[in-house]
Amino acid sequence: MARFIAKRVALGLVTLVLLSMLVFFMANVLPGNVARRVLGPFASPTAVAQLNHQLGTDKPLITQYLNQMKGYLQGDMGKSVSTRQPISDVLWPALGHSIKLAVLAFLIVVPLSILGGVIAALNEGSTRDRVITVGGLSATAVPDFVWAVLLLIVFSLGLGIFPSTAAWPDGSGVLTQIRYLLLPAFCLVFVLFGYIARMARAGTIEALDADYTRTAVIKGLPQRKVLWRHVLRNSLLPTIAVIATQVGYLMGGLVVIELIFNYQGIGQMIFRAATQKDFPALEAAVLVVGVVFLLSTLVADVLYSILNPRVRLGSADQ
Amino acid sequence: MSRDQTSRRVDAIRAKRSELENHLIDEYSAGRLSRREFIRRGGVIGMSAPLVGFLAAACGTGSKSGGGSTSSNGGAASGNAVEAGGKEVAVKPGGTLKLGMSPGPSTEIDPIKVADEGGLGVMSQSGEFLAWSDNKLNLDPRLAESWKPNKDGSVWTFKIRQGVKFHDGTPLTAADVASSINALSDPKNGSNALSTFAGVLSKGSATAVDPTTVRFELDSPNGNFPYLLSSDNYNALIVPKDFNGKWEKTFPGTGPWKMQKYTPNSGVSYVKNTDYWDKGRIPKLDAQQVKFYPKEQAQILGLQSGDVDVLVHFSPTGGKALLNDPNITVIQLRSSVHREIHMRNDKKPFDDKRVRQALALAVDRQALVSGLFAGKADVGNDSPFAPVFPSTDKSVAQRKQDLEKAKALMQQAGVSNASATIDTWDGFELPDLAQLLQNYGQQIGLKLSPNVTPAGTYYGDAVFGKSPWLDSVMGITDYGHRGVPNLFLNAQLTSKGVWNAAHFKNPTYDGLVKDYVQSLDLQSQQAAAAKIQNLLLDETPNIYAYFYYFLTGTKKNVGNVEVTAMGHYDITKAGFTTGA
């Protein structure tokens, strides 16, 4: 296990280096220059040259890239070229915001969709099953931003129960924060429910058919015990993998949701950095998302092996 | 006071006035200026409000029409819209007003460099200018108590207000003013104001003569100079002389609001400055909180759902939902915001002015105004002279759609099956406008194909040879509001204009613009304007199809929000109405 993790971490580092290069050079290939973006089209060329020099964006690309990497190694993410703030002042709170939203969405969607999947599996072929599978799939097929607009119109503008933004006022307590986050979280719940419920349903059906389940039933175990001990434990394996892959989407992929709800998460930060040609901020944010993504898949793999000892994780151990 | 007494007093006053002031009084007495315009111009050349008021009453002829320039603000309001500058309503003292701004400051706020509406709006809450250019283009003295030009308007002397303190308690002096303005005209600072000051004010031309007087020696006479030091100039904010460039740390200023907390990209909160020098303008509210929205749609929802009470600015295109919302009051303000549709005067097919005229005649301006802006725009007449400018000669005939004439012109020019690309970028209504132009072109046999790119691509390096904006055969460029047309006239159209995308080179025009800029009174400005307007209609280097309104939205229970088309807002008198 230790070797497996070490190898995965090493591979992850290589991936991150490649990612950083990709982001840096691709972003710089785009036309226009940084100071021009900051000062606007009507600023004089002298002013633009002056600012580019001040920002160091007139240096060769490779020097800029190496300087940035050197900063990262020293734990310094550098300053945003547009707001001139230290990037870490923005990035960590943004990450925190994204995590809060993701956690809330998961807390709602994971039990709900697993329950849905299991109920559907237990009633395979019945109306209940169809309602859950078809309903879930339809909800998933609708893009998150459509859900956002729909929920806003109904619950915020129409009924006035929820605020139209996810940005809670300064100094709000946990409950208020949750109230502000519920609408965006439900957009994600709708999008994710279909996926997860389908996986849970398939896994459950498979586990229900398995020999060990039949044995347990024949052995005379009560149905609840069979479900908990034998069916669920086995059926959840693929579900966990699906959930883990969604972490990347939740951390950084929610650009539109975060914009609609004016939420200062990492998706909005990436959007802003990209439109403002704020490359240092863009690079840092993308790398952090990359780290989160790598970590979540690693955790999923480890969890998988713990839940299912048959998986040896193991080419690394051989 | 009897008639004789009044006239003796007027004579006594006039004996002490400059030639420029006496000329203005003559124009007014002769009925060539409306009362309102007399008051406005009097303010610009530095006559005090009581004096102008007395003279307006004493010398008025009762003429209401005056030189054709009256209302800068007379667009018909409809639906839930009200004109800006309405009557003050009663409001409860105290409370916190929540405002939405989209997109908010786009970069670090630095008065020397600021070039965006968000930065400007945030800055002018805690900071102040020498004068405030209100939504009727009147200049209201703020940090300057008064100002005076010399005989030809080449040297202007400003008296600085006494008893004003920066938020940290340091008193304001003439040295602060001189250093603030000199920082803008020094090329080494790369100020955004360099383009505004080009040919007007050079490095080091502001001198603090004594602790209360600043003298500005101009490169050439300029009758509108006070506007360049007013809130009309993004960068002319007065900061302490030891200002180090780190404006965001404390928002150093003298204004009615003190910054409490600023989070870039998120929002800013202010509390009222109880020590403010103008006791009449100490805010009625206790505090204001401004929220920044990266996308306009989010701020529209924010106002509708009550997350904010006011939207400082929304676009007619993005905010159509607000225009008929019974819970919202829309404040509308005429402006000079426009799109310049340029046609390369030196490249085929537009090197023949008949082709340019033909395309301009094919455009249905009224349809653009109602289709793109739900009527919240003025029709343009192919020059930067927007109806909002008092100097615009409104008697110049309006160009209207005339397809027959357009086709005939195309035939005369011998152009058939010509084609061109319309370059523009993917913001505002620009892609829609490009599409519509394509249709208009089609109707006269001109094949136009839109090429819509991101803003960065379109503007490129913003210098000739390295910018689709300045190099393309045809393109659409967005221009923000200015209180006077000088910058548009110079930069967009003079032979040496740095933004002359049409590559229009016409010595007669250049001369007329020079005359216009140097005119010190409205009468001669209008005369020069008429010549420029007619020349541009004939040459049609660019199409100016509309000037759209500046729109502000408030909840029904909010009163006295003042805005200017520059993007400043003033909520010192604002509050929640007593009825609510």
* pLDDT over 50 (residue A318): no
Cβ separation B266–A152 shorter than 8 A: no
Which amino acid appears at position B565 of this protein?
A
Question: Distance between CA atoms of B130 and B361, rounded to whole angstroms?
Answer: 44
Question: Distance between CA atoms of B153 and A218, rounded to whole angstroms?
Answer: 105
- Closest-CA distance, A284 to chain B, in angstroms, reads 17
* Candidate from B297, B461, B491 with C-beta closest to A36: B461
Could you tell me which of B258, B296, B328 has the C-alpha nearest to residue B82?
B328
Within an 8 Å CB–CB cutoff, is residue A256 touching chain B? no
* pLDDT over 80 (residue A315): no
* Better-predicted residue by pLDDT, A277 or B365: B365
Handedness of CA A9, A15, A18, A22 (dihedral sign): negative
Within an 8 Å CB–CB cutoff, is residue B113 touching chain A? yes
- Closest-CA distance, B488 to chain A, in angstroms, reads 11
- For tokens 């060769």, name the residue: A60
Question: Distance between CA atoms of B329 and B308, rounded to whole angstroms?
Answer: 13
* Candidate from B190, B265, B462 with C-beta closest to A83: B265
Within an 8 Å CB–CB cutoff, is residue A42 touching chain B? yes
Report whether B262 contacts B251 (CB < 8 A): yes
Residues of B in contact with A47 (CB under 8 A): 113, 190-192, 194
Within an 8 Å CB–CB cutoff, is residue B462 touching chain A? yes
Residues of A in contact with B455 (CB under 8 A): 32, 41
pLDDT digits (tens, 9 = 90+) for B215-224: 999 998 887 8
User: B330 by DSSP, 3-state: which?
Assistant: strand
- Closest-CA distance, B503 to chain A, in angstroms, reads 17
Residues of B in contact with A97 (CB under 8 A): none
Surface-to-core class of residue B27, CB atoms within 10 Å of its CB (0-12 exposed, 13-18 middle, 19+ buried): buried
pLDDT digits (tens, 9 = 90+) for B127-163: 999 999 887 778 899 999 999 888 888 999 999 999 9
Within an 8 Å CB–CB cutoff, is residue B321 touching chain A? no
Handedness of CA B343, B347, B352, B355 (dihedral sign): negative
Cross-strand partners of B310:
B99, B554
Which amino acid appears at position B207 of this protein?
T
pLDDT band at A317 (very low <50, low <70, confident <90, very high): very low
**Testing the interface with B: which of A164, A176, A271, A277 to mutate, by most B Cβ within 10 A?**
A164
Report whether B387 contacts B443 (CB < 8 A): no
Q: What pLDDT does residue B47 have?
A: 81
Within an 8 Å CB–CB cutoff, is residue B108 touching chain A? yes
For residue B380, give every residue at least 6 positions away whose Cβ sits within 8 Å of its Cβ, in sequence order, or none: B338, B365, B386, B543, B544, B545, B546, B547
Within an 8 Å CB–CB cutoff, is residue A268 touching chain B? yes
Q: What pLDDT does residue B531 have?
A: 97
Question: Distance between CA atoms of B6 and B57, rounded to whole angstroms?
Answer: 10
Query: ipTM of the predicted structure?
Result: 0.75
Q: What pLDDT does residue B209 have?
A: 95
Q: What pLDDT does residue A303 have?
A: 77
Question: Distance between CA atoms of B236 and B238, rounded to whole angstroms?
Answer: 6
Cβ separation A47–B191 shorter than 8 A: yes
User: B421 by DSSP, 3-state: which?
Assistant: strand
Percent of chain A with pLDDT over 70: 96
User: B156 by DSSP, 3-state: which?
Assistant: strand
Report whether B236 contacts B130 (CB < 8 A): yes
Per-residue pLDDT of chain B (580 residues; tens, 9 = 90+): 566 777 778 888 887 777 778 878 887 877 777 777 788 888 888 887 778 888 888 876 544 433 333 333 334 455 677 777 778 899 999 999 999 998 888 788 999 988 888 899 999 999 999 999 887 778 899 999 999 888 888 999 999 999 999 999 999 999 999 999 999 999 888 788 887 888 889 999 999 999 999 999 999 888 789 989 999 888 999 999 999 888 999 999 999 999 999 998 889 999 999 999 999 999 999 999 999 998 888 899 999 988 999 999 998 888 888 988 899 999 999 999 999 999 999 999 999 999 999 999 999 999 999 999 989 999 999 999 999 998 999 999 999 999 999 999 999 999 888 999 999 998 889 999 999 999 999 999 999 999 998 777 888 877 899 889 999 999 999 998 888 898 899 989 999 888 999 999 999 999 999 999 888 778 888 999 999 999 999 999 999 999 999 999 999 999 999 998 888 999 999 999 976 4
Residues 276-295 in A contacting B (C-alpha not used; CB under 8 Å): 276-277
Q: What pLDDT does residue A311 have?
A: 65
Residues of B in contact with A92 (CB under 8 A): none
Cβ separation A83–B460 shorter than 8 A: no
pLDDT digits (tens, 9 = 90+) for A188-228: 999 999 988 988 898 888 888 888 888 888 888 888 888 88
Within an 8 Å CB–CB cutoff, is residue A90 touching chain B? yes
Within an 8 Å CB–CB cutoff, is residue A82 touching chain B? yes
**Testing the interface with B: which of A83, A153, A266 to mutate, by most B Cβ within 10 A?**
A83
Number of CB pairs, chain A paired with chain B, less than 8 A apart: 129
Cross-strand partners of B270:
B259, B288
Cβ separation B306–A160 shorter than 8 A: yes
Cβ separation B194–A268 shorter than 8 A: no
Cβ separation A152–B301 shorter than 8 A: yes
pLDDT band at A109 (very low <50, low <70, confident <90, very high): very high
User: B373 by DSSP, 3-state: which?
Assistant: helix
How many C-beta neighbours within 10 Å does residue B168 have? 9
Within an 8 Å CB–CB cutoff, is residue A47 touching chain B? yes
